[in-house]
Amino acid sequence: MSGSTLRYGDKVVIVTGGSKGIGRGIVKVFVENGAKVVFCARGVAAGQALEAELNRAGPGSCKFVPCDISKEEDIKGAIIAMTKAMAVDESRYQVRVNCISPGNVMTPLWEELAGQTADTLATIKEGENAQLLGRMGTEAESGLAALYLAADATFCTGIDLLLSGGAELNYGYKSQVP
Ligand SMILES: NC(=O)c1ccc[n+]([C@@H]2O[C@H](COP(=O)([O-])OP(=O)(O)OC[C@H]3O[C@@H](n4cnc5c(N)ncnc54)[C@H](OP(=O)(O)O)[C@@H]3O)[C@@H](O)[C@H]2O)c1
């Protein structure tokens, strides 16, 4: 497909934490849909390997930049509020600002954390059963959700897209007092 028929042809995308997991899924989907993606992470080897792999595949392109975005935990709770505030501020320029709240997505981080528990497989099974859909999300589904917001959700701004398999509708045992 040419740049004009791809869903995100020749547009520029910036992804922080893009060499693995959810970020990798987003980088990959946008390159597959024609975007020019700049992504960062701390680990140079993984970043450069992904850059080479995706540039070989195209049709978009990507550029890896080593970068450490530290203290992420200090800003996570503020992302939805920041998204809404930026949506208000940028609307006069016709710029939309949206965010995604992921539930359990199978990524290297999830594998690593499960591997630190006494029973890795049981922990992963528990993670899968936390969703109504009985499985975890994938990196590719994370990418598609981001592409949807960027390319198709043209009347959405200031929203938080739950990427969670319905987990919040039925988290574990729910007491029904009395
Ligand atoms: N997976 C889930 O189920 C889930 C659910 C809810 C929320 N989240 C959140 O979603 C985010 C991504 O999760 P994930 O599971 O995709 O993690 P992941 O598999 O560990 O991937 C994280 C990516 O971010 C990069 N990164 C980490 N620290 C960085 C830093 N200080 N500066 C720049 N890049 C950095 C990593 O590369 P380097 O290590 O080389 O820097 C890697 O590319 C995390 O904030 C996580 O807490 C995940």
147 belongs to a structural domain = yes
Q: Is the pLDDT of residue 156 over 80?
A: yes
Q: Provide DSSP, 88-104.
A: HHHGGGT----EEEE--
Residue 74 Cβ < 6 Å to ligand 1: no
The CATH number assigned to the domain holding 42 equals: 3.40.50.720
2 belongs to a structural domain = no
Residue 135 Cβ < 6 Å to ligand 1: no
Model confidence at 81, pLDDT cuts 50, 70, 90, reads confident
Residue range 83-138, pLDDT digits in tens? 999 999 999 999 999 999 999 999 999 999 999 999 999 999 999 988 888 899 99
Joined together, the tokens standing for residue 112 give: 């690593």
The type of residue at 125 is: K
Q: Which helix (H) or strand (E) holds 15?
A: strand 12-16
Q: Which helix (H) or strand (E) holds 12?
A: strand 12-16
3 belongs to a structural domain = no
95 belongs to a structural domain = yes
Among 48, 71, 109, residue to substitute to test ligand 1 (most atoms within 8 Å of Cβ): 109
6 belongs to a structural domain = no
The type of residue at 177 is: V
174 belongs to a structural domain = no
- 0.85 cut: is pTM over it? yes
Number of domains in the chain: 1
User: Quick one: pLDDT at residue 4?
Assistant: 60
Tell me, in angstroms, the distance from the centre of ligand 1 to residue 17's CA.
Answer: 6
Angle between helix 21-32 and 139-147 (nearest 10): 50
Residue 36 burial (C-beta neighbours within 10 Å; 0-12, 13-18, 19+): middle
Residue 20 Cβ < 6 Å to ligand 1: yes
Q: What is the 3-state secondary structure (H, E, C) of 34-52?
A: CCEEEEEECCHHHHHHHHH
Kindly give, in sequence order, each residue whose CB lies less than 8 Å from that of residue 104, ignoring residues fewer than 6 positions away.
110, 127, 128, 130, 131, 136, 137, 164, 165, 167
Joined together, the tokens standing for residue 169 give: 């509708």
Residue 58 backbone zone (phi > 0: left; psi -120 to 50: alpha; other: beta): left
Instruction: Kindly report the protein residue whose alpha carbon is nearest to atom 23 of ligand 1.
Output: 17
Residue range 23-62, pLDDT digits in tens? 999 999 999 999 999 999 999 999 999 999 999 999 999 9
4 belongs to a structural domain = no
Residue range 18-31, pLDDT digits in tens? 999 999 999 999 99
Note down the domain range covering 113. Answer: 12-167
User: Quick one: pLDDT at residue 97?
Assistant: 96
Average pLDDT over residues 144-166: 96
Model confidence at 79, pLDDT cuts 50, 70, 90, reads confident
Alpha helices per DSSP H over the chain? 21-32, 44-57, 72-75, 79-90, 108-115, 120-129, 139-147
Residue 139 Cα: closest atom of ligand 1: 16
Residue 108 Cα: closest atom of ligand 1: 19
Residue 14 Cβ < 6 Å to ligand 1: no
97 belongs to a structural domain = yes
Model confidence at 73, pLDDT cuts 50, 70, 90, reads low
